């Protein structure tokens, strides 16, 4: 079992980073992005760091839809950082 989701939102002049750690469920994606929608209007770039996340079914789709909405509303880019693919032993 993976730990529950925790997130940290860092905002700077014009940009922000959302760090997620733990198990990402669809309702967690909504809660985390809600914090991003409340950022000042001057924040137009968003980076979401998913390197510490285990995503449940549907969570990434929910996150993608909300990120598209955020980027369209802010007229700026939203980017996602994923963990590098793990090599499987043969």
**Domains in the chain: boundaries:** 6-81
Burial class (CB in 10 A: 0-12, 13-18, 19+), 54: middle
Q: Is the pTM above the cut of 0.75?
A: yes
**Superfamily covering domain 6-81:** STAS domain (3.30.750.24)
Rounded-to-integer distance, Cα 90 and Cα 77, Å = 39
The answer to whether 52 and 18 are in contact (CB under 8 A) is no
Contacts of 8 (CB under 8 A, 6+ apart): 18, 19
On the question of pLDDT at 87 being above 60, the answer is no
User: For position 47, what pLDDT does the model report?
Assistant: 98
Both tokens assigned to 87 = 């090599």
Residue 84: pLDDT band by 50, 70, 90 thresholds? confident
Residue 19: pLDDT band by 50, 70, 90 thresholds? very high
User: For position 21, what pLDDT does the model report?
Assistant: 96
């Amino acid at each position: 079992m993976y730990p529950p989701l925790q997130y940290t939102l860092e905002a700077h002049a014009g940009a922000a980073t959302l760090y997620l750690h733990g198990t990402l469920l669809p309702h967690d994606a909504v809660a985390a992005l809600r914090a991003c929608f409340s950022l000042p209007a001057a924040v137009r770039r968003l980076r979401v760091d998913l390197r510490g996340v285990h995503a449940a079914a549907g969570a990434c789709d929910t996150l993608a839809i909300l990120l598209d909405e955020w980027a369209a509303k802010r007229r700026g880019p939203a980017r996602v950082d994923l963990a590098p693919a793990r090599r499987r032993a043969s």
